[in-house]
Amino acid sequence: MRYEELDDTTRRWMLEELEEEEAHRPYRAPGLSVQGRERFARLLREAIERGSEETLTSSLASPEMWSELGPLPHGGVGPVDPRQAAVALARMEFNTWYVRGLCRRLLEEGEEYCQIYRAWDGDGSPDECDLLENRVLPVRPIYQAHRAKYHPHRRPEAFSIPSGPGCKHSVRRLPSGMKALIEMEEQDMGSSLRRA
């Protein structure tokens, strides 16, 4: 994944948001073994503090981190391939916390909008976020929709970025030129509405 603003400030917000979830209702992927569930938070913290989704993948790829059987993407249960499972979980989790941390940062900095962008070229398969690619959306609903599709309850109809394990999209800060255009459009629409 290509994270455009993965710096110390964003990492700090990512970590603060992670600690908040860990203190209340932490998420654990269903395919993790008992050992995997116990070690997951520490490994994720390390990746957020000074690593990447690749370092998280390496940490999660050991067979002892996974149960022999786990849920399949389209339903049912089947054997878990530790390497594939590690790649999918690391990509989704790191992106989940990047989105959450960057949205928190943008809110703290007074930004109202962000843009959905393709952060990973992927394997050619479609994902739910394809329809949102390049769309400009308010930051707050994205921040509030953290894990809305699957945690603490499964709600497939809910909106969230990332949308799931195969999601190739993330969020970015609006370029200054785009912000200026939005402000102009809002001013024009506001004066048009006032004249109506």
Q: Summarize pLDDT for 85-138 with one digit per residue, the tens.
A: 999 999 999 999 999 999 999 999 999 999 999 999 877 788 888 888 999 999
Contacts 24+ apart (CB under 8 A), 132-136: 132/161, 132/169, 133/169, 136/174, 136/178, 136/182
With bands split at pLDDT 50, 70 and 90, how would you rate the model's confidence at 188?
Answer: low
Cβ–Cβ < 8 Å for 120, 32: no
Q: Indicate the domain borders of the chain.
A: 8-190
* pTM score of the predicted model: 0.89
pLDDT at site 187: 65
Residue of 44, 191, 194, 178 whose CA lies nearest to 112:
178
pLDDT at site 72: 72
Q: Give the least confident one: 20-24, 44-48, 115-119, 184-188.
A: 184-188
* Phi, psi for residue 129 in degrees, rounded to 5: -80, -5
CA dihedral 38, 152, 148, 56 (to 10 degrees): 0
Q: Per 3-state DSSP, what percentage of the chain is helix, strand, and coil (rounded to 5)?
A: 55, 10, 35
Structure tokens at 150: 């699957």
Cβ–Cβ < 8 Å for 169, 116: yes
What pLDDT, in 10s, does the model give residues 150-164? 999 889 899 999 988
Average pLDDT over residues 2-25: 96
Cβ–Cβ < 8 Å for 129, 176: no
Structure tokens at 16: 């603060």
Measured distance CA(79)–CA(102) in Å, rounded: 35
Residues comprising the chain, all counted:
196
Q: What angle do CA 155, 64, 120 make, to 5 degrees?
A: 50
pLDDT at site 179: 67
In whole angstroms, what separates CA 134 from the centre of its chain?
16
Element (H, E) at 103: helix 82-108
Measured distance CA(140)–CA(24) in Å, rounded: 21
